Amino acid sequence: MTSRAGPVWWSLALSEEVTDKKPLAVDIGDQPIVLWRDKQGIARALEDRCPHRRAPLSLGCIRDNGWIQCGYHGWSYEGDTGRLKEIPNMKDEQRFPPVYKAIPFGVEESGGFVRVSLDAKAIPPDPQQRTMPLSGTAHVPLEQAHWLDALYDDPGLVIAIKGVDFTPYLMSELREENGVFMMERSCLWGKLHWPSFAISDFPITLLSRTQPETGETELTLRDDAFNTLLTVQLAPVAAARGVTQVRWRAELGKSLKGRHARRLARGTPFSVREVIDAAALRVLKPSVSLHGRKLREALNSAPAVAAAA
C-alpha cells in the first residue's frame, strides 16, 4: 500500500503490546501480520502465515534466540528477513534456499507505537521524540473511513473525553495545512449547561490534526486561555472484516485549571468507544466529512496535475 508520499506506515501496535514473550496478531485490511520482539528487543513483523502449512505464526512462540517458531510443526524464522532458520530434527541439514522464508514487512518503532509498512524496503518515517504515558487499544465494528468521518462530524459517537461535551460548532473548518488536515471544534464542560446554540463563548476547544494517508490524528484539548489540557494521538487502522483497530496514546497538560480540568487527572481521561450508537450514526448528516473527502480528492489528484504540467 502506497500513497503519493510513498509507502504508508501504519501504527499497528503500542510498544508495550509487542513483547518477546508472546507473538501479537494484528492486520492491515485482510493482510494478517504477526509482531514480536527479538533477542535485541527489536520489533519484528512477518506475514502471519507459515509458508509450510499456512498456519498462523502468531499461534507459535518466540524462542530464546529471538526467532519465531510456528506452533504447528516447529519451523523457526528469523525476524529481519523472514528466512527459515530451523526445522526440528533436521540436525545438521539446517541450510535452506532463499525461497524458504516468510514474507517480512518493514518495522519502525518510536513514540510508543510500532509502525509497519507492507513494503519491507520502505524508508522509515522520522522517529517521534515524545512517548505519551497513557495508552489504550479499541476494536470498533466500523470501517476506518466511516470511523474517521464520524470523528469529524460528531466525535462524541466514537470517542469520549472525561467531562467534555462536543458541540456542532467549529472554531475553524477542516482545511489542509502542509499536508495535514486540521480543524477546531468548540466544546463544553459537562452536561449541565445552556444549549450550545445559546452560548456566546465556549470554554474549551478540540483541535484535530489528521494525516490524510493513515487517518492518524492528534487531538489537542485547550481551554480559553490556550492552556493545553490533554493531547491524544489516535491511530485508526483498517483491520479485517471492516473492523477498525484504534490505538491511542495521551498525556495531560501541565496546567490544569478549574475543577473540570482537574477532573481529567483522575482516572483515565480518554477512551475510544467500542460500542457505537448505530441509530445516531445512521442519521448523522455528513458535514465536516464532506470537506474531508474533497480535500482528499484534491490531495490525490495533485501529483497527476503536477505530472501533466
Partner 1 sequence: MLEVADRQFEADSTPTAPTRASGPSLNAVNNWVPHDIVMRDAWFPIAHAPHVGKKPLRRAIYSQPYFIWREDGRIVGSEFHPNEQRTREKSPYSDANGRYPMMEHYGVVWAWFGNPKAADPVHLPSLPFLPPNGGLPGYMTATVRFDCSAPVSLENLIDLTHADFLHADVVGDEKSDSETVETYWDSETVTMVRTCTNKSVAPIMKFFSGIRQPTQNVRQVIRIYLRSHCAIAYGRFTPGDDVPLFHPCTPETRDRTRMEMVMNTSNAGFMFRHIMPKAGYKVSRQDSSMTSPQSPRYMLPTTRKDLHSKFDQAGQRYRLQMMELAGRQAAGDFDYRDNVSADCSDIIGLRKELFQF
With CB under 8 A as the contact rule, the residue among 7, 13, 45, 51 that binds partner 1 is 51
Smallest distance, Å, CB 42 to partner 1? Answer: 25
With CB under 8 A as the contact rule, the residue among 63, 100, 137, 170 that binds partner 1 is 100
Q: Which stretch, 45-53, 232-240, 261-269, 276-284, contacts partner 1 (CB under 8 A)? A: 45-53
- Contact present, 113 and 130 (Cβ < 8 Å): no
The residue among 60 and 155 lying less far from partner 1, judged by its C-beta, is: 60
Smallest distance, Å, CB 2 to partner 1? Answer: 22
CA-to-CA separations, 78 to 14, 66, 83, 113, in angstroms, rounded: 22, 7, 6, 22
Smallest distance, Å, CB 28 to partner 1? Answer: 18
Pairing of strands 270-272, 159-161: antiparallel
Nearest-angstrom CA–CA distance, 50 and 144 = 28
With CB under 8 A as the contact rule, the residue among 1, 15, 72, 287 that binds partner 1 is 72
With CB under 8 A as the contact rule, the residue among 6, 41, 88, 141 that binds partner 1 is 88
Smallest distance, Å, CB 104 to partner 1? Answer: 15
Nearest-angstrom CA–CA distance, 211 and 115 = 14
Cα four-point dihedral sign 48, 54, 60, 64: negative
The residue among 73 and 262 lying less far from partner 1, judged by its C-beta, is: 73
At 180, the amino acid letter reads: V
Smallest distance, Å, CB 70 to partner 1? Answer: 8
Nearest-angstrom CA–CA distance, 78 and 39 = 11
With CB under 8 A as the contact rule, the residue among 29, 56, 136, 203 that binds partner 1 is 56
Q: Is 279 in the site for partner 1 (CB under 8 A)?
A: no
- Contact present, 171 and 205 (Cβ < 8 Å): yes
Reading the block at residue 260, the C-alpha cell is 473540570
Residues engaged in binding partner 1 (CB under 8 A):
49, 51-56, 59, 70-75, 84, 87-90, 99-100
